[in-house]
Structure 1
Amino acid sequence: MVSVQAQLTAKGGDVDKRLGLLASWTEAFVGDLFEESHGVRTREESYATLAFTDGSNIIVNPNTTAIIRKSRIDKLDKSADAEITLVEGGLLSKLSAAGKERSKYVLNAGNSSTELNTQNFLAENNGGTDVKLSNYDGEAMVSANNVIVTIRKDEGTIIRGNDAPLPPVKLLPAPEFLSSKLDTIIYQNDFLLIFEGVENAVRYRVEYSSSYDFDESVTIREINNPRLLINNLALGTTFLRIQSIDELELKGPFTETLRVIRNEDTKAPPIFGDQFRKSIYFVRSNSVEISGVTEPDAVVTINAKPVKVSNSGTFTDNISMQSIDEIVIVTSTDGSQNTSRKELRVVQLTEDYVFNVKLGGVDIKDEISASNTEKTITGRAFPEMEVELKNGETVKTVKTDSQGRWGVTMNVQQGKLSITFKANQTGIETLTKSYTVK
Structure 2
Amino acid sequence: MAFKVGLLGLGTVGTGTAQILLDPAQRHPLVQELEIYRVGVRSPDKTRLVAFSPGVVTTDLEAIVTDPAVEIVVELLGGLEPARSLILKAIANGKHVVTANKAVIARFGEEIFAAATEAGVYVLLEAAVGGGIPVIEPLKQSLCANRIHTLMGIVNGTTNYILTRMQTEGGDFAEILADAQKLGYAEADPTTDVDGFDAADKIAILASLAFGGRIKLPEVYCEGIRQVSAADIAYADKLGFVIKLLAVAKRDTSPGTNLADPPDQLQVRVHPTLIPKTHPLASVNQVYNAILVEGEPIGQVMFFGPGAGAGPTASAVVSDILNIAAILKVGRGAATDGQPPQLDPLLACSHQHYCAIAPMSELVTRFYARFLTQDSSGVIGKLGTCFGNHSVSLESVVQIGLRDNQAEIVVVTHHVREGNFHQALDEIRTFEAVNSVASLLRVL
Structure 1-normalised TM-score?
Answer: 0.25
Highest CA radius of gyration, 1 or 2? Answer: 1
Which structure is richer in relative contact order (CA contacts within 8 A, separation 6 or more)?
2
Higher percent of residues as helix = 2
Higher percent of residues as strand = 1
